[in-house]
Amino acid sequence: LASRDFHPSDTVINIKGVEIGGEQLVVMGGPCAVESPEQIDEIARLVKAAGGQVLRGGAFKPRTGPYSFQGVGVEGLVMMAEAGKKHGLLTITEVMTPEYVDVCAEYADILQVGTRNMQNFDLLRKLGSIQTPVLLKRGFSATYDEFLNAAEYILAGGNPNVMLCERGIRTFETYTRNTLDLSAIPVLKQLSHLPVISDPSHGTGRRELVVPMTKASVAAGADGLIIEMHTDPDNSMTGDGVQSLFPEQFAELLVDLEKLAPLL
Ligand code: PEP
Ligand code: MN
């Protein structure tokens, strides 16, 4: 079902009038984690002002260590839904277990499956049983075939609203947190009809690389971007401040993308 052979035309996912996979480039921006109502409200305002369409933010965080901040939970879903509504943005948040799918879907417009859960088959099956759009991140060691098979689980369950996200893979390089696999963008567009989103934030782990890799992703044919942005990245509650853009950088980047679009 994920294959281009099965479905030759591009899948376009329409969420409250925002089309993902169509003509328009979709930008999802926001903090790694929802921290407080004030934080998410201010960032939502800045995402909207810059021209973004979707507010990102994790309420449930998949941390490598059990003692790290795990997210604010359901309260974070409420904070983000309110900020999204107030500023006229769609929202995307990560869901980690099948049990939390329904409550996350109640509050968010798009559900994110993180890289560590790409092959959490119970989670994928549960997401296949609803119609809420899903952004499926590529596992950091997954081949394209494994990635598309993970998408297949959701599609096979009856949910056609799946977008694929390249977020960097693990390589021998340690300078960057991950290696953003730019080739994945055209490859996935060729093999599949599903929208392809790039995550240059987790894909590099370094703020100064997010702008160039965003532009490269757009040139490679990405349908959208998911970018971390924070008003006070040095004091953010996850370690992802180092890869978060400052609001001014985010706004400038979106202006540059507008200029890039007619060239492609
Ligand atoms: C995130 O989006 O903050 C995140 C944890 O992403 P990933 O699953 O790609 O590491
Ligand atoms: Mn993050």
**Mean pLDDT value across the chain:** 97
Answer yes or no: is the C-beta of 189 below 6 A from any ligand 1 atom: no
Which residue has the CA at smallest separation from atom 8 of ligand 1? 114
Q: Tell me the angle at which helices 144-157 and 184-191 cross, rounded to the nearest 10 degrees.
A: 40
Instruction: List the beta bridge partners of residue 225.
Output: 27, 198
Answer yes or no: is the C-beta of 62 below 6 A from any ligand 1 atom: yes
- Identify residues whose C-beta is under 5 A from ligand 2, the ion: 32, 240
pLDDT recorded at residue 223: 98
- Please tell me whether the overall predicted TM-score, pTM, comes out greater than 0.95 for this model: yes
Atom of ligand 1 at shortest range from CA of 165: 9
Tokens standing for 132?
A: 């809420």
In the predicted model, is pLDDT for residue 186 greater than 90?
yes
For the chain, the 3-state helix, strand and coil shares in percent, each to the nearest 5, are 45, 20, 40
CA–CA separation, 122 and 136 (whole Å): 14
Percent pLDDT > 90 in the chain is 98
In the predicted model, is pLDDT for residue 38 greater than 90?
yes
Percent pLDDT > 70 in the chain is 100
Answer yes or no: is the C-beta of 115 below 6 A from any ligand 1 atom: yes
Sorted by sequence, the CB contacts under 8 Å of residue 25 that are 6+ apart come out as 218, 222, 223, 224, 225, 257, 261
CA–CA separation, 139 and 47 (whole Å): 27
Which residue has the CA at smallest separation from atom 2 of ligand 1? 32
Answer yes or no: is the C-beta of 202 below 6 A from any ligand 1 atom: yes
Q: Coil, strand, or helix at residue 37?
A: helix
For the stretch 149-162, pLDDT in tens is: 999 999 999 999 99
Atom of ligand 1 at shortest range from CA of 33: 3
Answer yes or no: is the C-beta of 56 below 6 A from any ligand 1 atom: no
ipTM reported for the complex, 2 dp: 0.99
Q: How far is the CA of 201 from the centre of ligand 1 (A)?
A: 9
In the predicted model, is pLDDT for residue 263 greater than 90?
no
Which residue has the CA at smallest separation from atom 6 of ligand 1? 114
Size of the chain, expressed as the number of residues it contains: 264
Q: How far is the CA of 240 from the centre of ligand 2 (A)?
A: 5
